[in-house]
Amino acid sequence: MSATTTTAETAEPAPVHAESLARLLVAGERPPRPNALRTSLTFGWRAMLKIKHVPEQLFDVTAFPIMMVLMYTYLFGGALAGSPTQYLQYLLPGILVMSVVMITMYTGVSVNTDIEKGVFDRFRSLPIWRPSTMVGYLLGDALRYTIASIVMLAVGLLMGFRPDGGFMGVAAGVLLLLVFSFAFSWVWTMFGLLLRTEKSVMGVSMMVLFPLTFLSDIFVRPETMPGWLQAFVNNNPVTHVAAAVRGLMQGSWPSMEIAWSLGWAALLIAVFGPVTMRLYNRK
Amino acid sequence: MTSSNRTGPWSGPAIETAGLVKTFGDNRAVDGVDLRIEAGTVYGLLGPNGAGKTTTVRMLATLLRPDGGEAHVFGHDVVREADTVRSRVSLTGQYASVDEDLTGTENLVLLARLTGHSKKASYDRAGQLLDAFGLAEAADRQVKNYSGGMRRRIDIAASILNTPDLLFLDEPTTGLDPRSRNQVWEIVRAVVAQGTTVLLTTQYLDEADQLASRIAVIDKGRVIAEGTKGELKASVGAGAVHVRLRDAHRRPEAERLLRRALDAEVEPEPDPVALTARVGNDSGDGGAVAEKASRALAELARAGITVDNFSLGQPSLDEVFLALTGKHEHTGATSPAEQTKEATA
């Protein structure tokens, strides 16, 4: 019993005011039902509040990306491209894609830890557009992806990354990455609802993410790989996104790669969105 | 996207279910429940852990899909018209249905926004609710730092934010100290006084006794008894007569005398000087029982049997509960803790 009555017992709550409560109930007018955008944004606001109250959770979008840039640039740079600075020009857009795509898995973890809590019952018993709870998570996560992108680009610029595409090219690249990550996150909302524990969500995420991010053109061009691997790498959505982001940041307009990235994004939402919502409704 | 209507044309029951079934694998958690709950009342769903109370409530609140039977809330089918049902009901779950990472204000504003209030109206309403619930000082603290009683309050505040027509309270006082419990009861009474129908689940008999006008006793997914408090009590007998004798060796004689005078079952208790008689199955009239009991005492006195202590107990819901579930489960339930008004002879 005492487990539920924790710390703050010292501050005795004030008594309940039955009369003002009664007045409130009588005065309570029901406003018209909010639309889908409004409820989604409200859930996005909830995600922001969570970041505000638990800022430690930004660790994975700051320290982790910095580590990735530093490690891979200096580890592979000399061997693969002659010098780290030269390699960085090729690597940075790709490693940005890799880091952000990897961070998407935390969506699944937070959905999974949240779903067990009573507050989900309340959300699910509200007369609102059903997917807005999930969209809210993803909107909050989009902020995290943006922070991660800015941090990595800042570190990259300090290390000598000089994108030919200028500010606009870089911004367009980041925007494309955000769109893809938003779509890709629906995979994790599905697993977050499907799997029983946080650990299994992490496990499955890693199984998917490692091959998907490493078996791409992020670190090296696919030409030196065996044919069967090239077949996978060239059709890997992460390759398309990395190539598109790289192209945009280098100042070109890789329309095919952009189309492939957006196509994959649409496909991911079309498949995993409904599955997520089905699981959400059935939970 | 129409604004919901507080007092619709519906004049039927708030809740009506027929043969409601929910199975989890082999377990028939809810096994054919029929309920009819009039609008504007507090209805108690009483049962032990795992009886199917929460599952029933979750189906009625559109959180679970029934596997069989039908359920209507204000005339709306909980499956086909789930969205309409959702606009009329509110749920306070067994565990706090608020976001523990957010503050009290943030929780209420979040829900006010989700129910369509403007930003300003949301903050206003949150502030007023926190005041009314005595939580003004804790408004800016994260709910995870609230005490159990405060959590319950913020939870109920969140549930009544939009003045629901039907409020589900799933074990609202489990784990609370007696004072917080009384305060929750006070809140429930205030909510009902405004015309909200309340479906309350509880394992505490005094809670159902205090709040509910009708009670369904539920066990193993079935309703095993239903009625007003009085009807339920009468169904197990009008009361129990407890007698303590001075001499243990006079007990067999006293037992015979009482059986004849009271015209009822008399059972010796483990205590060698005590006897208990269940009386009044026929009439359910407390006065007649008292009269019979005093005649029986006179008989004992005439026979020269000294009575040290005598009490006439109204059956508590406790007894009702054990009588019903005990019979049902064949657990051989031991004699219940009596809540009797003692009268020393």
Identify the domain containing residue B248 by its residue range.
236-343
Nearest CA in chain B to A6: B147
Tell me the range of A90-94, B253-257, B291-295 where mean pLDDT is highest: A90-94
Using a CB-CB distance cutoff of 8 angstroms, which residues of chain A are in contact with residue B1? 32-33, 35
B165 in the same domain as B20? yes
Asked, for residue B259, whether it belongs to a domain, the answer is yes
Chain A nearest-CA distance from B123, in A, is: 14
Separation between Cα atoms, residue A173 and residue A224, nearest integer Å: 26
List CB contacts (< 8 A) between B141 and chain A.
8
Could you read off the pLDDT of B321-343 as tens digits, one per residue? Answer: 677 766 544 333 333 333 333 33
Residues B118 and B169 in one domain: yes
In the predicted structure, residue B3 carries a pLDDT above the cut 80 = no
Contact A49 B102 (CB under 8 A): yes
B3 domain residue, yes or no = no
Are the C-beta atoms of B125 and B133 separated by less than 8 Å? Answer: no
Asked if B242 contacts B267 with a C-beta cutoff of 8 angstroms, the reply is no
| Predicted structure pTM score | 0.79
CB contact under 8 Å between A122 and B4, yes or no, is no
Question: B interface mutation test: which of A1, A25, A111, A280 has the most B CBs within 10 A?
Answer: A25
Q: Is A231 helix (H, G, I), strand (E, B) or coil?
A: helix
B189 and B253 fall within a common domain: no
Q: How far apart are CA B65 and CA B53, in angstroms?
A: 15
Which positions in chain B touch A25 (Cβ < 8 Å)?
Answer: 160, 163, 190-191, 194, 196
Tokens encoding A222: 């696919």
Distance from CA of A174 to the nearest CA of B (A): 30
Residue B153 contacts residue B183 (beta carbons within 8 Å): yes
Taking 90 as the threshold, does the pLDDT of residue B55 lie above it?
yes
For B244-271, how does the pLDDT look when each residue is reduced to its tens digit (9 = 90+)? 888 888 898 888 888 888 877 787 888 8
Q: Is residue B314 part of a domain?
A: yes
**Rounded average pLDDT over B119-139:** 92
CATH at B325? 3.30.70.270
Handedness of CA B203, B204, B205, B208 (dihedral sign): negative
Same domain flag for B70 and B174: yes
Chain-wide mean pLDDT for chain A? 88
Query: Where residue B148 falls among pLDDT bands split at 50, 70, 90?
Result: confident
Instruction: Please check whether residues B45 and B66 belong to one and the same domain.
Output: yes
Cα separation of A91 and A99, whole Å? 12
Contacting residues of A for B131, CB less than 8 Å apart: 17, 20
- Would you kindly state where each structural domain of chain A is located, as residue ranges? 34-282
Determine the average pLDDT of the residues in B205-209: 82
Q: Which residue has the tokens 């503050």?
A: B103
The pLDDT of residue B168? 94
B109 and B146 fall within a common domain: yes
* Length reported for chain A: 283
Which pLDDT band, with edges at 50, 70 and 90, does A12 fall under?
low
Alpha helical stretches, state H, chain A: 18-27, 36-53, 59-81, 84-103, 105-115, 119-124, 132-159, 166-194, 198-214, 227-235, 237-249, 255-282
Q: How confident is the model at residue A101, as a pLDDT?
A: 93
Q: Which of B233, B249, B270 delimits the end of a domain? A: B233
Task: Return phi, psi of residue A142, to 5°.
Answer: -60, -35
Interface predicted TM-score (ipTM) over 0.85: no
Question: Binning pLDDT at 50, 70 and 90, where does residue A277 land?
Answer: very high
Within 13 Å and on the Cβ side, how many CA atoms surround B204?
A: 15
| Residue from A1, A16, A50 to probe the interface with B (highest B Cβ count within 10 Å) | A16
pLDDT at position A9, please?
44
How far does A35 lie from chain B, in Å, by closest CA?
8
Give domain status of residue B6, yes or no: no
Taking residues B288-307, report their average pLDDT: 84
Residues B21 and B164 in one domain: yes
Same domain, B96 and B19: yes
What is the DSSP code string of A95-124? Answer: HHHHHHHHHTHHHHHHHHHHHTSTHHHHHH
List of residues 6+ apart from A134 with CB closer than 8 A: A111, A186, A189, A276, A277, A280
* Same structural domain, B213 and B314: no
Query: Quick one: closest CA in A to B91, which residue?
Result: A122
Residues B182 and B246 occupy one common structural domain: no
Flag whether pLDDT at A167 surpasses 70: yes
| Domain identity same for B69 and B213 | yes
Residues on chain A touching B98 (C-beta within 8 angstroms):
118-119, 122
Q: How much is the mean pLDDT over chain B?
A: 83
Same domain, B249 and B287: yes
Contacts of A129 in chain B (CB under 8 A): none
Interval B182-204: pLDDT, tens: 888 988 898 888 889 999 998 88
Domain count, chain B: 2
Indicate whether B9 belongs to any domain. Answer: no
